[in-house]
């Protein structure tokens, strides 16, 4: 029996970076569909170096069953050239525990940082040679 997706996301791939937004409480079906979508949208970036900036303020956690999918997903995008990864969200202990425990902080060329505001995340990516523009993406998110 297939369950319906609980959780929402938006993905935009630009040049050498990906912008993502997440919301809601995620079930396993959401994690599976999201992972498939990002894999498909970033296939052309394989063999290059690219970055991700992810906005989690509207994300409300996920069921434990998402974790194996997210771990496998992270291994894949690191293998396919992602070297910088930003998580952006206001401090939240439970959210931090789930997100930061299943996504490695650094691994070889890959490095992830957590930021409480967009400006510092974009600055960090710029310092690392990724010119990222998130304004239009953020302005078109669901209210």
Domain chopping of the chain, boundaries: 8-139
**Hey, what CATH class is 8-139 in?**
alpha beta
Q: 14 CB contacts (<8 Å, ≥6 apart)?
A: 132, 133
pLDDT of residue 1: 52
- Model pLDDT, residue 106: 79
> Which pLDDT value is given to residue 47?
87
Residues of the chain with pLDDT below 50 are: none
pLDDT of residue 101: 78
Residues in the chain: 143
Whole-model pTM: value is 0.93
Residues 6+ apart with CB under 8 A from 60: 23, 24, 25, 26
């Amino acid at each position: 029996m297939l369950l319906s997706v609980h959780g929402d996301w938006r993905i935009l791939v630009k040049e050498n970076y990906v912008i993502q937004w997440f919301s809601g409480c995620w079930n396993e079906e959401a994690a599976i569909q999201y992972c498939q979508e990002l894999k498909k949208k970033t296939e052309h970036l394989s063999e290059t170096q690219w970055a991700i900036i992810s906005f989690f303020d509207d994300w409300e956690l996920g069921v434990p069953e998402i974790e194996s999918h997210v771990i496998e997903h992270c291994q894949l995008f690191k293998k396919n050239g992602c070297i910088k990864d930003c998580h952006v969200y206001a401090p939240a202990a439970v959210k931090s525990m789930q997100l930061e425990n299943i996504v490695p902080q650094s691994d070889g060329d890959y490095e992830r940082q957590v930021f409480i505001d967009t400006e510092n995340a974009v600055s960090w990516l710029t310092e690392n040679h990724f010119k990222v523009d998130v304004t239009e993406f953020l302005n078109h998110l669901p209210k």
